Amino acid sequence: MISARIPVLGFAAFSGTGKTTLLKKLLPLLREQGLRVGMVKHTHHDFDIDQPGKDSYELRKAGASEMLVASGRRWALMVETEKSGDPILQDMIDRLDQTTLDLILVEGFKHEKFPKIELRRERLNKPLLYPADPSIIAVATDGVADATHGLPHLNINSASEIADFVFNWLQQSHGAS
């Protein structure tokens, strides 16, 4: 299980289900509830948030193991790793400043054990992750959730319904207000 000072809740699904699309709608709704939300997103791709030609990119490519870029409004830390393969969720959570957050949402990392909402689109015809993953606490789908054995069934197309579920889960499970 994941260890954190604050609640961690994941959104797990197969590619193409709409995890990012949902989270882009969900985050403002949670913020309206007064929650400060941190986000960890898994990607399978080699990615770069920096741009060729920018000083920070050139310094990192020249050999900086860590490159922190800061302005008056934001900062970003790029860390080069020697490892290949998937990152470890616990390592990523440990990097967040949990003293400034109320909740950490995680996109992906579906094989790790921590509370998750499974997202499912019927047209993709993918198998349910639940019940093989007992960490799943609800299923959000655009179809029938008949194989979810009593788990809450949410409408994947209703960000407000999912936001209400997350806020209530947070209050009931972790005493947040």
- pLDDT score, position 89: 95
Q: CA-CA distance, 77 to 66, in Å (whole number)?
A: 7
pLDDT in tens, 159-173: 999 999 999 999 998
pLDDT in tens, 123-155: 999 998 998 999 999 999 998 767 667 899 999
- pLDDT score, position 103: 97
- pLDDT score, position 45: 65
Region 58-85 average pLDDT? 87
Largest Cα–Cα separation, the chain: 54
| Domain with residues 8-44+86-174, CATH architecture | 3-Layer(aba) Sandwich (3.40)
Region 59-63 average pLDDT? 88
* Domain edges within the chain: 8-44+86-174, 46-84
Asked whether the whole model's pTM tops 0.95, one would answer no
Q: CA-CA distance, 52 to 58, in Å (whole number)?
A: 7
pLDDT in tens, 3-27: 999 999 999 999 999 999 999 999 9
Confidence of residue 85 (pLDDT cuts 50, 70, 90): confident
- pLDDT score, position 132: 92
Q: CA-CA distance, 153 to 159, in Å (whole number)?
A: 13
Confidence of residue 78 (pLDDT cuts 50, 70, 90): confident
Q: CA-CA distance, 69 to 60, in Å (whole number)?
A: 11
- pLDDT score, position 37: 97
